[in-house]
Structure 1
């Protein structure tokens, strides 16, 4: 595998943005790789998946480029009082990747996944733009913004959270995964999500599972003993790669 660190200027965010990329180093002539956008959690960076899991080893049998952007503590959202991070990673970033590297531009070859805050970001992208992604995965995802609002009531997190989502509830808005799933009028990407039974986000994941069941939306859900940590995510990224690329 080749490992690249990339920096490019974002017009949307008006700053240089960092990416970490893993990809096969033996790309064949005219080959177009599949692309997986793999998102970090709160307080994370583009290097988390590389430093804290065996991702590089797990990718050896797959012809896929994994793009890991640094997204700060943005909740992968267009902030009410701030920058348009959602537009950056769903529009500007794919345009940059697809115009710079030998990758496919077809929906069936574009994937997205993430953990915790990044799990929210992955499903938010997939449910907002279902025509762009073939499959999406979430690990210990922050499935309910209002749960996160309750957990972010101390400085400096409260101010940062309010600047992103504002002071009104996100329920029944484009920041609400339940609302997005209910509102979708086209076929959704194939969805995979997992959560540990000891995770503080476990009940929110079960609630989202029930919501999808009520809507008749197909998905794959897995759980096991586990907390909100890298031991769990290292195990389930392997399962997600099989879900995405072994079929």
Structure 2
């Protein structure tokens, strides 16, 4: 596999940012490859998945492209006091990567995956644009934003004084606003450790998301909210993606 590290100007963010990409060494001319948009969690950046797991080896036999952007501490949102990261992701990053790399824009070939804060971002993106993705996998995701003030001292920079409790940011509300015919076409894989402090939230979210027409697979495995668990979980996710 090849590993690219692209440092570029992000016009919407008005700063230099980095995007990391894993792709096959050999790509047939004009071939458009399936793509996994892989999101990092709070306190990490786009290098985390490549540095802290054996991701490159796990996809070494696949014709997949893995795209790992830097999304800061944004919760994949337009920050109240900071960068417009949601606009950057949806209006700038994804279109740029589609123009630059040999990746398919066919929804059947697009998957979005993330852990913790990135799990929230993956679910938010898939629920906001279900017509653009085949599947979403959320690893130990933040699914209830009420927990954010307890894990993020600077949360007001993203959500403002009361924004963390604003229903427009809630995943279930976003999913319920999506067209039923589009949401019904994507699959959801949700995985969490049995000792994870977010497990109760995830249990509840799994029950609540049954109210929308999306096919779900929820797994609780031994583990905590850490890279020991996520290194094993990404294997489960990749195997799931390979068989849907």
TM over 0.5: yes
1:183 corresponds to:
177
Deviation at 1:184, TM superposition (A): 2.1
Deviation for aligned residue 1:61:
2.1
The answer as to 2:197 corresponding to 1:200 is yes
**Distance in 1 (alpha carbons) for counterparts of 2:8 and 2:167:** 31
Task: Calculate the TM-score normalised by the size of structure 2.
Answer: 0.94
- Cα deviation for residue 183 of structure 1 reads 2.4
Distance in 2, matches of 1:80 and 1:206, equals 30
Shift of residue 102 of structure 1? 1.2
Q: Return the alpha-carbon distance in structure 1 between the equivalents of residues 53 and 98 of structure 2.
A: 26
Instruction: Show the counterpart of 1:86.
Output: 86
Native 8 Å contact 1:5 1:19 kept in 2: yes
What SS does structure 2 have at the residue aligned with 1:227?
A: coil
Please list the CA deviations of residues 147-181 of structure 1 after superposition, one character each: whole Å capped at 9, or x if unmatched.
112x04xxxx43x2112111225446331112112
Q: Secondary structure at the match of 1:3?
A: strand
SS at match of 1:32: coil
Q: Output the aligned Cα RMSD.
A: 1.4
Corresponding residue number in structure 2 for 1:114:
114
Deviations 1:18-52 (A, max 9, x none): 01111001101121111111011111011111111
Q: Tell me if the contact between 2:188 and 2:214 (Cα under 8 Å) persists in the aligned partners.
A: no
Displacement of 1:232 in angstroms is 1.0
Alignment partners' CA distance in 1, 2:26 and 2:214: 38
Q: Secondary structure, in 3 states, of the residue corresponding to 1:131?
A: helix
Unpaired segments ≥5 residues, structure 1: none
Match of 1:214 in 2: 211
Q: Does the CA contact (< 8 Å) of 2:80 and 2:160 recur in 1?
A: yes
* Residue in structure 1 matched with residue 157 of structure 2 by the alignment: 163
2:83 and 2:215 mapped to 1: Cα distance? 34
Assess, with a 3 A threshold, how the Cα gap between structure 1 residues 140 and 29 changes in structure 2: closer, same or farther.
same
Check whether the contact 1:22–1:67 (CA below 8 A) recurs between aligned residues.
Answer: yes
**Count of residue pairs brought into register by the alignment:** 241
User: 1:242 aligned to 2:239?
Assistant: yes
Shift of 1:205: 0.6
Normalising by structure 1, report the TM-score. Answer: 0.93
Corresponding position of 1:4: 4
Give yes or no for contact 1:171–1:179 (8 Å, CA) kept in 2. no
The 5 Å alignment of 1:145-156 reads: 145-149=145-149, 151-152=150-151
Gap regions ≥5 residues in structure 2: none
